[in-house]
Amino acid sequence: MNLSPLNERFVLHFGEMGSRWGVNRTVGQIYAVLFLSPEPMNADQIVDALGISRSNVSMGLKELQSWRLVKLIHQAGDRRDYFETPKDVWEIFRTLAEEKRKREIEPTLTLLRDALMETPLDEAERHAQQRMREMHQLIELATGWFDEVQRLSPDTLENLMRLGARVQKVLEFASFLRPGKDGKD
């Protein structure tokens, strides 16, 4: 691996984390290298940095593009493909959330909706459906909320997060806004 010690540790760590996030080690490493790089990199530069095969890099980049975590760009007067990661970490966070949603949440919601349409055959199925209903409600609520939050501008979003300990206080106002619906505490 052809990286400074500082970068190497980061890249190795992201390799490990990658596997926990549903991509393989190499894909995590390619992302990490691009994330740290001051300039876009082409595939051969990544091969050189990580010491893996050219074809592996090609497949990894495909995967990262499908996650919209890297962008393909061209340099003037150079036929090769260059890649970079979006600069804004907020944007990255958002993209990741959207993709996770598309790949994990939506299929689960579809499954749950289908299951809830069926007529339970016995007491066990009735109970199973009740559990699925609870899960469905939780996911709908959480993702619906996430949608709303995501619709905010990055500034507003950062703002919201910085509120921190004030959430409680804000909720008091919120309940004031909608008398009779929430306002439990």
Partner DNA sequence: TCGAATTTTCAGAAATTTCTGAAATATTAA
Partner DNA sequence: TTAATATTTCAGAAATTTCTGAAAATTCGA
The 3-state DSSP class for residue 4 equals coil
Q: Which does 158 bind (CB under 5 to 8 A by kind): DNA, a copy of itself, none?
A: a copy of itself
Q: Is 34 exposed, middle or buried (0-12, 13-18, 19+ CB in 10 A)?
A: buried
User: Smallest distance, Å, CB 160 to DNA?
Assistant: 35
- Which residues sit at the interface with DNA, rule CB under 7 A? 19, 24-27, 42-44, 52-56, 58-62, 78-81
- Which structure tokens are listed for 151? 């619709």
* 162 contacts: CB under 8 Å, gap ≥ 6: none
User: Smallest distance, Å, CB 53 to DNA?
Assistant: 3
56 versus 175: smaller Cβ distance to DNA: 56
User: Smallest distance, Å, CB 81 to a copy of itself?
Assistant: 22
Q: How far apart, in whole angstroms, are the C-alpha atoms of residue 133 and residue 178?
A: 27
Q: Which does 53 bind (CB under 5 to 8 A by kind): DNA, a copy of itself, none?
A: DNA
Tokens 């939050």 identify what position?
A: 149
66 versus 137: smaller Cβ distance to a copy of itself: 137
Q: Which does 113 bind (CB under 5 to 8 A by kind): a copy of itself, DNA, none?
A: none
Q: What angle do CA 134, 135, 139 make, to 5 degrees?
A: 120
Q: Which does 185 bind (CB under 5 to 8 A by kind): DNA, a copy of itself, none?
A: a copy of itself
Q: Indicate the DSSP class of residue 67.
A: T
User: Smallest distance, Å, CB 22 to DNA?
Assistant: 9
Q: Is 165 exposed, middle or buried (0-12, 13-18, 19+ CB in 10 A)?
A: exposed
